[in-house]
C-alpha cells in the first residue's frame, strides 16, 4: 500500500509492555495488546518480543495465515526502511550450533533424543522435553512398561511374521502411529513434513496436531503422499468459541483427513515450570520488569484473571459430541484422546465413539494422572467389555518395540509415539523419522514376537 503509515524503529521500541505491545513481522507493524491474553503460549512469549522484530520466531512456529486472525485494527503499518537499525530489530537467533553425529550411531530411540538435545536451541529442547508438576506422570509413563513381564511361549512356528494391523479400517504396516505433537519447526525447518514423509513411506497413521507449525493444507497435499499409504488423522483441540472449532473440523474434513481425534484433557493448561522459567529468564535478559506469567498471583482483586485456560474449552462435556459428530459427518471415525479411567472409557463407548485413546498428554497435563498402560490394565480389570466394542490406542513412554508388543498383548490396537519422533526429526530431519520407524521400531517389534 503506497499510503500505508510508516513507523520508525524508535517509536516501535517504545511499545514494549503488556499495556502497549507492538511487534514487527516481515516489516509490518502489529499492535497485539488485545491479543496477549488469548495467546496459547501465554503473554510472556509475545512480550519477550515487544517492540522488536519477531519475524524469525513467528515463522518458526506459526503456519501462514495466523496473522489474519488478529483482532481488526491490529495491523498498524510498515517499518520505515530509511530508519532501519539492525541492532534495534534483530531477532534473537534460536539456532543451536550444528553438531554432526552419524545417524548410524542411533541404535535406539533414546539415542535420537541425546543427539536432539545437542542440536536443539534451549527454547526448543525445553518445550519438547518439559512436563508438568514434579514430572511424576512423565516418569511413570516410562517406568510402568518395565513392570510388565512377558510370558514367552516356545516351540511355535514364527518363521513368518505379519506385523500389519487394521487401524480404523485401514491396513497399516505396523501397529504404531505418530502421535500428535505441536511445533515441529522448532526442531527442523521442514517441521511436520518430516512426519508426513515417514508416515507415507512406511504406511503408518499420523495424527496431525491442531497446533501444527505446517499448515494442514500443505501436509495433506504433499506431492509424495499417497492416499493409500499412511492415513492422516486430525487431532482437535476444542476451542472456547464453537465457531473456531467448527471451522477447524470443516477444514480438516474438506482436506480429506480420515479420523477425528478429540483431545479431552485440556480443560485447563497445567504449569510446565521449565517452560515458564525459560520465558521469565528471556524477559529478564531483555530488561523487562513487567513480566506476565500464567500463574502469577494478582496484586489486586481487580487484576485477577480466570484460571489459565489458553484458547481451549473448559466446558467441554459428553453432550458436545453430538454437534461435533454432526459437523464431522461421515468423514471417518471419531475418538477421544486423554481417557485416563475405566469409567470414562465405558462412558465413551456408551456415547458411540469409534476408538478410545488412552493418554496423560505425555505427562504434560495433570501430574499424578496414571500412565496409559495403567489405565489399560484398569479397563481389563473393571470394564473388559470395552476392549471388544471399539479400538484402543495409547501413548506415553514407549521407547522399545517390546513396549508395543506388551500393549498389544494387553488389548491395545495400536500405540502412538510423540516425543521420539520429534527428537528424531530434530536430529536428522525426515531421514531421522524414517530410520526411527524402519530400524528402531520395525526391527525391534519383529525380534520381540515369539
Whether 361 is a known active-site residue: answer yes
User: Among candidates 211, 283, 307, which has minimal Cα distance to 44?
Assistant: 283
CA atoms of 448 and 220, how far apart (whole Å): 34
Task: Give the DSSP H/E element, type plus range, for residue 365.
Answer: none
User: Among candidates 22, 24, 35, which has minimal Cα distance to 69?
Assistant: 35
Whether 290 is a known active-site residue: answer no
- The three-class DSSP label of residue 266 is coil
Q: Give CA 86 to chain center in angstroms.
A: 34
Count of residues in the chain: 450
Q: Are 192 and 62 in contact (CB under 8 A)?
A: no
Q: Which residues contact 412 (CB under 8 A, 6 or more apart)?
A: 175, 358, 376, 392, 393, 394
Q: Nine-digit cell at 314?
A: 473448559
Q: Tell me the DSSP string of 397-419.
A: S--SHHHHHHHHHTT-SEEEESH
CA atoms of 391 and 261, how far apart (whole Å): 13
Of 265, 275, 276, 367, the catalytic one is 265
Q: Are 356 and 388 in contact (CB under 8 A)?
A: no
Of 128, 237, 278, 357, the catalytic one is 237
CA atoms of 116 and 114, how far apart (whole Å): 5
CA angle 412, 414, 417 (to 5 degrees): 120
φ and ψ of 171, to 5 deg: -80, 115
User: Among candidates 334, 346, 203, 336, which has minimal Cα distance to 259?
Assistant: 334
CA atoms of 229 and 116, how far apart (whole Å): 28
Q: Which residues contact 420 (CB under 8 A, 6 or more apart)?
A: 109, 112, 113, 398, 399, 436
CA atoms of 73 and 88, how far apart (whole Å): 25
Beta bridge pairs of residue 17 = 20
133 φ/ψ sector (left φ>0, alpha ψ -120 to 50, else beta): left
Q: Hunting for cell 487394521 — which residue is that?
A: 166
Q: Nine-digit cell at 199?
A: 508416515
Please report, in angstroms and rounded to a whole number, the separation of the first and last CA atoms in the chain: 68
Of 30, 127, 357, 361, the catalytic one is 361
Q: Give CA 260 to chain center in angstroms.
A: 15
Which residues are tagged catalytic? 237, 265, 361
Amino acid at each position: 500500500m503506497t499510503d500505508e503509515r510508516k513507523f520508525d524503529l524508535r517509536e516501535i521500541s517504545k511499545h514494549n509492555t503488556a499495556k502497549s505491545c507492538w511487534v514487527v513481522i516481515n516489516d509490518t507493524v502489529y499492535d497485539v495488546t488485545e491479543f496477549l491474553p488469548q495467546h496459547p503460549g501465554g503473554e510472556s512469549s509475545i512480550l519477550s518480543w515487544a517492540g522488536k522484530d519477531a519475524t524469525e520466531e513467528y515463522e518458526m512456529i506459526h503456519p501462514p495465515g495466523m496473522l489474519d486472525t488478529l483482532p481488526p485494527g491490529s495491523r498498524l503499518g510498515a517499518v520505515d526502511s530509511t530508519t532501519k537499525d539492525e541492532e534495534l530489530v534483530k531477532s534473537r537467533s534460536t539456532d543451536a550450533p550444528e553438531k554432526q553425529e552419524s545417524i548410524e550411531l542411533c541404535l535406539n530411540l533414546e539415542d535420537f533424543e541425546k543427539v536432539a538435545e545437542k542440536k536443539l536451541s534451549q527454547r526448543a529442547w525445553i518445550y519438547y522435553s518439559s512436563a508438568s508438576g514434579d514430572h511424576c506422570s512423565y516418569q511413570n509413563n516410562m517406568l510402568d512398561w518395565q513392570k510388565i513381564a512377558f510370558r514367552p511361549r516356545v516351540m511355535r512356528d514364527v518363521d513368518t511374521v505379519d506385523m500389519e494391523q487394521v487401524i480404523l479400517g485401514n491396513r497399516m504396516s505396523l501397529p504404531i502411529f505418530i502421535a500428535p505433537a505441536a511445533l515441529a519447526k522448532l526442531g527442523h525447518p521442514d517441521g511436520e513434513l518430516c512426519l508426513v514423509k515417514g508416515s507415507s513411506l512406511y504406511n503408518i497413521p499420523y495424527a496431525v496436531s491442531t497446533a501444527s507449525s505446517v499448515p494442514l493444507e500443505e501436509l495433506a497435499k504433499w506431492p509424495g503422499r499417497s492416499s493409500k499409504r499412511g492415513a492422516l488423522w486430525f487431532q482437535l483441540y476444542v476451542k472456547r468459541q464453537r465457531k473456531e472449532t467448527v471451522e477447524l473440523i470443516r477444514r480438516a474434513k474438506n482436506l480429506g483427513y480420515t479420523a477425528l481425534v478429540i483431545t479431552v484433557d485440556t480443560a485447563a493448561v497445567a504449569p510446565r515450570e521449565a517452560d515458564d522459567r525459560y520465558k521469565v529468564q528471556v524477559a529478564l535478559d531483555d530488561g523487562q520488569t513487567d513480566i506476565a506469567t500464567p500463574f502469577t498471583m494478582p496484586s489486586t482483586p481487580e487484576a485477577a484473571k480466570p484460571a489459565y485456560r489458553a484458547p481451549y474449552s473448559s466446558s467441554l462435556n459428553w453432550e458436545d459430541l453430538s454437534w461435533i459428530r454432526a459437523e464431522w459427518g461421515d468423514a471417518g471415525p471419531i475418538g477421544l484422546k486423554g481417557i485416563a479411567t475405566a469409567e470414562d472409557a465405558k462412558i465413551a463407548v456408551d456415547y458411540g465413539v469409534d476408538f478410545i485413546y488412552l493418554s496423560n498428554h505425555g505427562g504434560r497435563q495433570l501430574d499424578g494422572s496414571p500412565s496409559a498402560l495403567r489405565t489399560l490394565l484398569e479397563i481389563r480389570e473393571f470394564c473388559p467389555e470395552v476392549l471388544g466394542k471399539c479400538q484402543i490406542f495409547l501413548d506415553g513412554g514407549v521407547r522399545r518395540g517390546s513396549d508395543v508388543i506388551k500393549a498389544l498383548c494387553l488389548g491395545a490396537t495400536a500405540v502412538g509415539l510423540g516425543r521420539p519422533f520429534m527428537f528424531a526429526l530434530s536430529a536428522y530431519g525426515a531421514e531421522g523419522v524414517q530410520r526411527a520407524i524402519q530400524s528402531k521400531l520395525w526391527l525391534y517389534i519383529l525380534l520381540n514376537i515369539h
